[in-house]
Structure 1
Amino acid sequence: MAKIKILVGTVYGGARDVADGIKPVLEQKGYQVDITEDPALSDLTDPDNTAILISVSTTGSGDFPPGFDKFYFSLNDQGASLGHLKYGVIALGDSSYDTTFCEAGRKIDNILAEYGATRVGRRLDIDSAEHFDAIEPAISWIEDWTTRLV
């Protein structure tokens, strides 16, 4: 069975809610789905993963949530050969923070691409000022993402 791992970076639970909301959609399409809020570099190199999804919120001035920043900085410091990896990014933010809107999602997207991973489809940036419930746009996006994953 094809496996998708969702790596979550959250402070108040919104990014986890998104991961939990899209999990049944992925399972209905035949994927085994694992969600973790404690990502490690081994998640990116695990050959059992068909793809990785990142669901991450932006905090402060474009920062990662606590815990997820350790993962990002480990990847940045140690690097990895990710030519085998397919991934998607769901970034949550608030557009009133103009220059740092969804910055955490952009940062993780850029570093995965830098190490050779292939993004499937476009990154989804969800604006909390526009969507009170981030699950709705995420479900629409995941439907399209899975068709491109094949």
Structure 2
Amino acid sequence: MPMLKILVGTMYGGALDVAEQVKPLFEDAGYEVAIVEQPTLADITGEDTDLALFCLSTTGSGDFPGNFVPFVRELQDKSPGLAELRYGLIALGDSSYGDTFCGAGRRLDDLLQDQGAQRLDERLEVDAMETFMADDAALPWVEAWIAGQDLKVV
């Protein structure tokens, strides 16, 4: 059974809630799923990871949540080359912050692509000003992502 790791960056639990809500969709598609709340580079470079989904909140002025900062530093310091990594990204933010809206998700996306990782489909950006419950946007996006990328395991 292929392994999907959902790597979570959250300050108040919103991104973790999204991860927990979308987990069953991947399990129904045939994946073993692990939610990782303190991610490390090994979580995406190990042989046991077939697919990654990042659920990431933005804090402050486009900053990474505290639990995600060590992962980002490790990624920047080690520049591992991630050509084998296939991933999706759900970025949570608040458009009232203007230019820094979903800043952490956008920065992570750039970092991953700079390392050669392959994003499957477009990044989902959830705006707290428009969507009270982020999973209301995330669930249909994940369903379409699984179907569109033919991620179901036979």
TM-score of the pair, normalised by structure 2? 0.95
Offset of residue 70 of structure 1: 1.2
Letter in 2 for 1:19: A
Unpaired segments of 5 or more residues in structure 1? Answer: none
Cross-structure match for 2:29: 29
Letter in 1 for 2:30: G
Matched, 1:135 2:135: yes
Q: Percent identity?
A: 49
Q: Matched residues in 2 for 1:89 and 1:8: separation? A: 10
Q: Matched residues in 2 for 1:15 and 1:149: separation? A: 24
Tell me the matched-pair count.
Answer: 150
Letter in 1 for 2:47: P
Q: Which moved more, 1:113-122 or 1:73-82?
A: 73-82
Partner of 2:96, secondary structure, is: coil
Indicate conservation of the 8 Å contact 1:120/1:149, yes or no. no
Partner of 2:112, secondary structure, is: helix
Matched, 1:45 2:70: no
Indicate conservation of the 8 Å contact 1:93/1:126, yes or no. yes
Partner of 1:90, secondary structure, is: strand
Letter in 1 for 2:39: P
Partner of 1:64, secondary structure, is: coil
Unpaired segments of 5 or more residues in structure 2? Answer: none
**How big is each residue's C-alpha offset from its partner over 1:28-55, in whole Å with a ceiling of 9 and x where there is no partner?**
1111100011000001111221111000
Offset of residue 149 of structure 1: 5.1
Partner of 2:62, secondary structure, is: coil
**Please, what is the CA RMSD of the aligned residues?**
0.9
Q: Matched residues in 1 for 2:126 and 2:34: separation? A: 22
**How big is each residue's C-alpha offset from its partner over 1:115-146, in whole Å with a ceiling of 9 and x where there is no partner?**
01000000000000111100011011111211
Q: Matched residues in 1 for 2:90 and 2:150: separation? A: 15
Cross-structure match for 1:59: 59
Cross-structure match for 1:118: 118
Instruction: List 4+ stretches of structure 1 deviating above 6 A.
Output: none
TM-score of the pair, normalised by structure 1? 0.97
Partner of 1:75, secondary structure, is: helix
Q: Matched residues in 2 for 1:101 and 1:61: separation? A: 8
